[in-house]
């Protein structure tokens, strides 16, 4: 068994390493790469509000917890497919997709036509009436799932979808206790906040009654795991007790942890278990192969329901499958989805069996906007676009290429700061660490201020990415699924330059 990687902070690399890095760099390598060509001509007319006024309103009139990215907040004025433009008419490659939400591309022409056509026909009626759009969409969406998952409940956000799943699990089983993973994120409403295993999402109010967390099965940062554990084109470079092609000892270890939690702290019957297929906000964490299968067995033995959170991993993003849970060889009792379901349109859904869904009839349950005609038309069109443009296949092909190119950064020149590369399809994480002499056993998370420096450099060169992980040191790369190989090359080239600039900042700092 392996010890966890150290979590103390280190401010800078040793000077001898910095000198070696800078001596082997060339001035040309630090020149910003050019964005791939784009033949779209944006409408960049002056906006009604200037940036100064927008920032003033943001400070005075909007939720104060909304903290924009970047030291100089980015004001986005228009988007097209994988690109966005700011108020200065500058183009950016969006490799974060509106937080894993812009699935088929910004302002997709098919969606523009769908919204225009449907809004002229029927914008909204309550679900107390029938309309054809929601029924057509429900049948089409259900056809993307294995039986017996065939009953759809529409809503408006991922938090709300997980709230409904939580309600159904408790109502159907008659039990109350729910288990989730540490490092997980399932929403920030008062009902879903207790499911989250990341402390920054917790408010100091009574939340945790009936919720228990078990160890996060992370082959890179967890207590056990290593280079044979993940179902990914790129494995961690951490040593491993498993044998290539054999069973996963790490999966069994974390399953035993879950079994101990179930037997020591919970009643004989539980309501359910929540898990993302790949953790999103937590830093794109992938579990050891076979862990979710074992977790499924343990949960079912306790009478609980298995709830798969596909808010970020659904709709072909992982490449090999349309849903992330399919890569784990299980059929959940409940699946929740949002984000990419509507390409940014406020839409979410829960799918389950007829028997589990019937638990909602024990009292009144109603959603004014869930599955209204306009949102249903948009959701239906998104499914059509994914199929017509073969975006799942593109996620697999282009995502695998990107993963392997990022792994070359980790295994080559930048091995002392790129600790791990992981993911499937276009659900990718790059974890920044600090290691002395490439010793990954003693690596520690890169300090946030250093991560932010690299993050700002990427933006300055026209690349938008996300951040996550409990230490804030994971770059989340989850773009619209229409990106190209040229976009991959640009992304990697920008990261190379940003890493070189990072070394330069450290060198200047060490000389002071």
pLDDT digits (tens, 9 = 90+) for 56-87: 998 999 999 888 999 999 999 999 999 999 99
pTM for the model stands at 0.93
Is 433 in contact with 444 (CB distance < 8 Å)?
yes
Residue 26 clears pLDDT 80, i.e. is over it:
no
Q: Which helix (H) or strand (E) holds 306?
A: strand 305-309
Residues 355, 232: Cα–Cα separation, whole Å: 35
15-95+391-511: CATH topology:
3.90.1150
Q: Which is nearest to 35 in space by CA: 382, 379, 494?
A: 494
Residue 437 clears pLDDT 70, i.e. is over it:
no
pLDDT > 90 in the chain, percent: 82
Residue 140 clears pLDDT 90, i.e. is over it:
yes
Domain parsing of the chain, residue ranges: 15-95+391-511, 130-217+267-388
Is 418 in contact with 430 (CB distance < 8 Å)?
yes
Residue 12 clears pLDDT 60, i.e. is over it:
no
Average pLDDT of the residues in 112-124: 97
Alpha-carbon torsion (439, 440, 441, 442), positive or negative? positive
Average pLDDT of the residues in 123-128: 91
- Cβ neighbors of 92 (< 8 A, separation 6 or more) are 74, 83, 84, 85, 86, 459, 462, 463, 464
Confidence of residue 21 (pLDDT cuts 50, 70, 90): low
Q: Which pLDDT score is estimated for 10?
A: 42
Would you put residue 149 in left (φ > 0), alpha (ψ -120 to 50) or beta? Answer: beta
The values of phi and psi at residue 437, to 5°, are 55, 40
Q: Give the residue ranges of DSSP H helices in 266-347.
A: 291-301
Q: Which is nearest to 221 in space by CA: 233, 235, 208, 236?
A: 236
Average pLDDT of the residues in 351-376: 95
Q: Which pLDDT score is estimated for 15?
A: 52
Q: What is the CATH number of domain 130-217+267-388?
A: 3.40.640.10
Residue spans of beta strands (DSSP E) within 5-90: 76-80, 83-86
Of residues 4 and 243, the one with the higher pLDDT is 243
Residue pLDDT, tens place only, 207-219: 889 999 999 999 9
Q: Which pLDDT score is estimated for 292?
A: 98
Average pLDDT of the residues in 400-411: 98
Average pLDDT of the residues in 157-180: 98
Average pLDDT of the residues in 358-375: 94
Q: Which is nearest to 34 in space by CA: 500, 499, 486?
A: 486
The values of phi and psi at residue 487, to 5°, are -65, -35
Q: Which pLDDT score is estimated for 27?
A: 41
Q: Which pLDDT score is estimated for 18?
A: 54
Confidence of residue 52 (pLDDT cuts 50, 70, 90): confident
Across the chain, mean pLDDT equals: 92
Say how many C-beta atoms besides its own lie within 10 A of residue 29's C-beta: 12
Residue 4 clears pLDDT 50, i.e. is over it:
no
């Amino acid at each position: 068994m392996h010890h966890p990687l150290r979590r103390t902070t280190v401010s800078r690399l040793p000077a001898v390493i910095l000198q070696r890095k800078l001596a082997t760099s060339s001035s040309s390598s630090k020149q910003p790469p050019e964005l791939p060509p784009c033949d779209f001509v944006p409408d960049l007319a002056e906006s009604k509000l200037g940036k100064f006024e927008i920032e003033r309103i943001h400070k005075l009139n909007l939720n104060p917890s909304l903290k924009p990215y970047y030291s100089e907040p980015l004001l986005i004025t228009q988007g097209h497919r994988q690109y966005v433009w700011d108020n200065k008419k500058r183009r950016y490659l969006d490799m974060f997709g509106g937080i894993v939400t812009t699935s088929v591309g910004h302002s997709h022409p098919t969606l523009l036509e769908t919204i225009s056509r449907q809004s002229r026909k029927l914008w909204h009626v309550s679900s107390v009436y029938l309309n054809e759009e929601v029924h057509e969409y429900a049948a089409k969406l259900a056809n993307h799932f294995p039986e017996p998952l065939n009953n759809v409940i529409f809503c408006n956000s991922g938090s709300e979808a997980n709230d409904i799943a939580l309600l159904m699990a408790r109502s159907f089983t008659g039990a109350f206790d729910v288990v989730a993973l540490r490092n997980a994120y399932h929403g920030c409403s008062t009902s879903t906040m207790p499911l989250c295993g990341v402390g920054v999402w917790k408010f100091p109010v009574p939340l945790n009654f009936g919720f228990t967390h078990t160890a996060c099965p992370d082959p890179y940062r967890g207590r056990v795991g290593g280079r044979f554990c993940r179902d990914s084109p790129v494995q961690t470079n951490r040593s491993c007790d498993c044998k290539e092609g054999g069973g996963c000892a790490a999966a069994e270890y974390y399953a035993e942890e879950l079994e101990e939690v179930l037997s020591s702290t919970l009643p004989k019957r539980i309501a359910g278990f929540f898990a993302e297929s790949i953790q999103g906000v937590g830093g794109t964490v992938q579990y050891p192969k076979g862990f979710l299968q074992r977790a499924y067995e343990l949960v079912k033995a306790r009478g609980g329901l298995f709830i798969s959170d596909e808010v970020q991993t659904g709709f072909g993003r992982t490449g090999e499958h349309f849903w992330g849970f399919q890569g784990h060889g299980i059929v959940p009792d409940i699946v929740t989805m949002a984000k990419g379901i509507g390409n940014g349109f406020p839409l979410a859904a829960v799918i389950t069996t007829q028997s589990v869904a019937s638990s909602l009839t024990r009292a009144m349950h109603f959603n004014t906007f869930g599955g209204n005609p306009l949102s249903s038309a948009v959701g239906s069109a998104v499914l059509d676009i994914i199929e017509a443009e073969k975006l799942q296949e593109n996620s697999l092909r282009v995502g695998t290429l990107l993963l392997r190119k990022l792994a070359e950064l980790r295994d080559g020149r930048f091995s002392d700061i790129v600790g791990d590369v992981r993911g499937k399809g276009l659900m990718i994480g790059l974890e920044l660490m600090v290691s002395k002499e490439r010793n990954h056993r003693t690596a520690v998370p890169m300090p946030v201020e250093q991560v932010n420096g690299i993050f700002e450099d990427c933006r300055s060169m026209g690349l938008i990415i996300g951040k996550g992980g409990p230490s804030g040191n994971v770059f989340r790369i989850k773009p619209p699924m229409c990106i190209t190989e040229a976009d991959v090359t640009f992304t990697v080239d920008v990261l190379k330059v940003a890493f070189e600039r990072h070394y330069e900042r450290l060198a200047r700092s060490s000389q002071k």
